[in-house]
Amino acid sequence: MAAHTLNIYMLSLGRMHCHIYGRNVHKALNRATYATALSTNNSSPNKGFPDRGSRGPIIRRPRREEGEPRKDRMPVDQDWTAVYPTAAPFRPGSVPLPVRMGFPVKRGVPPEKKGNLELIKIPNFLHLTPTAIKKHCEAMKLFCTEWPSALDTNVKCDEHFPIKIECKDYVSAGTSIRNPSARIVNLRVKLSSLNLDDHAGKKMVKLLGERYCKETDIITIITDSCPVRQQNYDYAMYLLTVLYHESWKTEAWESEKTVADMEEYSWEDSPSQKNALSTLVRMQIAGEVEGDAVRDKLLGRPEVQEYRESVIRLMNEGESESSILQYREAVKKLLKL
């Protein structure tokens, strides 16, 4: 029936169109056919619902009344872990806080939490309150062994176990227990606990590059190139061993180390030392003969030592008002002003 009416509708429309360009003579006629073709005389008993014809009405359970939201029935000292035992989306009826979230339209406030999609979208940690975590710890204690009593301070731990390995395990509710991020191994060692001399230490730092933190003196090696955690752990230990042995060796090309490669500023053989010495020599032109003895004597003077300290401080620590003032005093003493 519906299809039939549709066809007549199209036909009448077609007739209307072909007459638009001509004259509107048959307007009344067309309207009549149009009107009779689409009679909306439905015989279905339900108002507003589609006409299902012989199939019968859609049976739906009658809607029951909403109960009181849970938050109104919550005592103050309730067990929150029972309300949110696991990670669950935000339920406005279960959280007794008057939270508002969203963009306030002009002269308005952020929308309330009832029916607020923004609050549902964001992750929440309502299932991880301190009480909940205590309960998790109590439950996990069954599977743990006791901490050795002799290792009660951090210092002792570092002394006996300088290498610290960190791995993460992942648990999720899903079809598979595997998680590829579990293969990552994080190895941390303090550089001072390794047996390295001066040259080996500097070479190690250069080899490590970004993996070494100067403030805390910790080497961090993160390996994730192998598919299995065991393999990554072996690779990290191998890297540490290789770095250690390589930094003890001295290659032939290391003798070409330039001033720009040096980590710290050393005053000996620097342009600053040459300038200072030449100035001092020129200042005492009358009398002294040039020679190594004079140079050593000049270097041994307290003003020169003070000057040396101030220049080293300026170069290593960078500039600041105080270091420049120190430099100034040292130069004044050097030039006897």
Partner 1 sequence: MWRACQSERHLGQYYTLPTSHLHTIFPHGLPARYQQQVKTFNEGCVMVRQPALELISYLKAADYSKPAVRYLLYGLKGSGKTMSLCHTIHYCSTQGWLVLHIPDAHLWVKNCKELLPSSYHTSRFDQPIEASNWLRNFRTTNERFLSKIKLRQRYTWTKRESTEKGSPLGELVDMGVSRVKSSSDVVGAVLKELRLQAAETEESEGFRLAVAIDGVNSLWGRTTIKKEDKSPVAPEELTLIHNLRKMIDNNWCGGAVIATLSQTGSLYSPSSAYLPKELLGEEGFDSMDPFIPVPVSNYSEKEFESCYLYYLDRHWLQHPHSENEGKKEIIFLSNRNPSVLERLCAFL
Residue 335 as a binder of partner 1 (CB under 8 A): the answer is yes
| 200 lies in the binding site for partner 1 (CB under 8 A) | no
Q: Of the candidates 277, 279, 305, which has an alpha carbon nearest to the alpha carbon of residue 292?
A: 277
x/- track of binding to partner 1 for residues 281-300 (CB under 8 A):
-xx-----------------
Which H or E element spans position 223?
strand 218-223
Query: How near is the Cβ of 296 to partner 1 at its closest, in Å?
Result: 19
Among 196, 203, 204, 327, binds partner 1 (CB under 8 A): 327
Site membership for partner 1, residue 331 (CB under 8 A): yes
- Can you tell me the distance from the alpha carbon of 324 to that of 332, in angstroms, rounded to the nearest whole number? 12
Spatial separation of the C-alpha atoms in residues 237 and 181, rounded to whole Å: 19
Span from 7-15, 82-90, 220-228, 322-330 in contact with partner 1 (CB under 8 A) = 322-330
Site string for partner 1, 254-283 (x = CB under 8 A): -----------------xx--xx-xx--xx
Dihedral sign computed on CA atoms, order 231, 234, 240, 244: negative
Closest approach of partner 1 to the CB of residue 306, in Å: 12
198-208 and 229-248 helices, crossing angle to 10°? 140
* CB 26 within 8 Å of CB 19: yes
Q: Which is nearer to partner 1, 64 or 282 (CB)?
A: 282
* Count of residues making up the chain: 337
Q: Classify each residue of 29-43 as buried b or exposed e, where b means 16 or more C-beta atoms within 10 Å of its C-beta.
A: ebeeebeebeeeeee
- CB of 292 vs partner 1, minimal distance in Å: 22
CA–CA dist 96, 73 (Å, integer): 10
Instruction: Give the CA-trace dihedral at 160, 164, 170, 171, to 10 degrees.
Output: 10
> Between residue 26 and residue 55, which ones bind partner 1 under the rule CB under 8 A?
none
Q: Minimum Å distance from CB 319 to partner 1?
A: 4
Bridge partners of residue 185, in order along the sequence: 167, 223
Q: Which stretch binds partner 1 (CB under 8 A): 21-29, 74-82, 228-236, 320-328?
A: 320-328
Number of residues binding to partner 1, judged by CB under 8 A: 24
Q: Is 308 in the site for partner 1 (CB under 8 A)?
A: no
Closer residue to partner 1, CB minimum distance, 244 or 267? 267
- Closest to 268 measured CA to CA, from 234, 305, 242: 305
H or E element at residue 12: helix 2-20
The verdict on 321 binding partner 1 (CB under 8 A) reads: yes
Judged by beta carbon, residue 217 or residue 261, the one nearer partner 1 is: 261
Instruction: Show the site string, 220-259: x = touches partner 1 by CB under 8 A, - = not.
Output: ----------------------------------------
